[in-house]
Chain A
Amino acid sequence: MRCEDAAEFVSALYDGETIPRAAAEHVSLCQACQSQLKEYIEMGVELRRVASLDAESEVKDRTWEKQPGTIRRWWQKGWETMRIPRMAFVLLLTMVVAISSGLTLIGVRAHEHGTVAILKITPPDKETVMNIMPCPLSTEDKNYSDCDNSVGMRSGSFSYKIKLLSRDGNRIQLGVRAAFVNRANSRETVAQKLQGATEREYWFEPGETLKIDVDGLGPVAVTGEWQDYMPYFATMDVEHNLEPGLNELRMISPILLRGDRVVFDAKGGAATTSVPNAAFWVNVPGDGVYVLSMSPMPDSVEAHAVDNRVTFEIGGRSYQFVTGAPITRADKVWILHRAGARFPMNGVFGSGSSDGLLPLLQANK
């Protein structure tokens, strides 16, 4: 063995680790390696001596009182930065909570002490057109143990479904189905392809990067981190703040009312986008697709956006989107209704640019 090969083992030996026999034999005969070891010992002694001089025993007095929980602190932050009349917002939120049986806030509190892996999915750079929502997976609550998403990419559509299968210490076992369709040469929708895709299993440790090869798209990176509660905005890549960003369209736990009847309810779901011509779409079974956009679309109607609601009329009937938080900074948005149509995406609602969404919608009229 040469000194270059043994050098790292000298460091390990100094740390009290056992090293391979060949390395041990080399060190016992090699002056240079013994000198390296000696210098490590001297440096270690010097460092500990400096540390002994540095450590001051004086400690600043502090009072340790239990702080309010995370949800409350998040709420306080939103409350402090709120720019709409606070009483008006309380009334609006109370109404939303009443309509949706209080599941939004109660649901969050029920997960406050759970163990949640927040996964971030990153497709190859050249294909990415927008941020993809994080995927929160609870190891304690089966209702939050999977996530799915469909995303428009530069050359097609990418869709995935991730299930949490088990946990071993800090690692989690994931069942992943993923599909990509190139819009130029595929008649199959991404949802159809995803349904036929084989589920592959992976072990993943938050803090590391898992690469998943998706046919036609390339390597998709999965990264993540542990949190000890299910955050309210878990599926949104946004600051925990009630204020929508500039040009942002934010739909949190939306419901759609036609007159006084609820025709769509995505309780607990969330979507956000800040791309040019930001838009939000919902599939309403038996009724068709509604697209809400920050800019006019062909055949669309103008709608009024105030705080957490958007009101509009189609065919003489009044509609209202009501959500759990302010939707946009704009006071005017546009709505397009396509009766009988359906988006070829997974899930019941989503967001993106209306430029990219409308061609998909027209192709599936």
Chain B
Amino acid sequence: MTDHEEVWKKISNADAAAFDAFYRESAPRLRAFLRHIVGNPQAAEDVAQDAFTQIWIRPNGFQPERGSLRGYLYGIARKRAAEWWRNQTPSNGAAGPEPSDCKTEAASVIGDALARLPEEQRALLWLREVEGQSYAELAVILEIPIGTVRSRLFAAREALRKIWRSDWRPI
């Protein structure tokens, strides 16, 4: 049995301590991911909390044979983020991801380039490059065939490269 299966088993048995450990370990990275998806730190926090709550209430949605618990968490978070976007209207100020709240100028270059990509490409690149999700896990998280993962990753990288190289990168 893998580690994540063991954790999931405990969570399924309503082991609050095991879930809290999972939450504390995963929350910072999940929030960072969501900040780049919804473009708003408060919304990212809310969506992250919703995602954890869903797993805690309904752990049976996770199927260990399909991927890791962390992948499942990101899949839920991405769906919640999509719902959040659907519920936004121009009047409540959600015009698109804000430029990243970066700590250095260099960070803002790639962060802002990323923010100019469509949501799906942002999510795909982040999950692959930062979270290191495999093609199989990405297929489950994004609910697309595994063969499509490769072509969409390529399209996302090319889109990012184009922005990064032509508009942002110092010559």
A→B interface (CB under 8 Å): 7-8, 11-12, 14-15, 17, 36, 39-40, 43-44, 46-51, 53-60, 62-67, 70, 113, 169-170, 207, 226, 228
Contacts and interface: CB of A to CB of B under 8 A. Distances in A.
Given A47-B129, A47-B130, A53-B107, A64 B16 contact: yes
Contacts of A58: 28
A207 to B, nearest CB: 5
Contacts of A65: 16
Interface in B84-139: 100, 102-104, 106-107, 109-111, 114, 125-126, 128-130, 135
20 contacts: A7-B154, A11-B153, A11-B158, A17-B135, A43-B129, A47-B114, A48-B129, A51-B126, A51-B130, A54-B32, A54-B35, A54-B100, A58-B28, A62-B49, A64-B56, A66-B56, A113-B60, A169-B63, A170-B63, A207-B143
Contacts of A56: 28, 31-32
Given A7-B158, A53-B107, A226-B61, A39 B102 contact: no
Contacts of B100: 50, 54
B73 interface: no
What 5 A-B pairs come out closest when comparing CB atoms? A11-B154, A54-B32, A46-B110, A228-B60, A64-B16
Interface residues of B, number: 51
A63 B56 CA distance: 11
Nearest to A14: B157
Interface of B: 14, 16, 19-20, 23-24, 27-29, 31-32, 35-36, 45, 49, 52, 56-58, 60-61, 63, 65-66, 100, 102-104, 106-107, 109-111, 114, 125-126, 128-130, 135, 143, 150-151, 153-154, 157-158, 160-161, 164-165
Contacts, number: 109
Given A50-B110, A65-B16, 11 more contacts: A14-B157, A15-B135, A49-B106, A51-B29, A56-B28, A56-B31, A60-B27, A67-B56, A226-B61, A228-B60, A228-B61
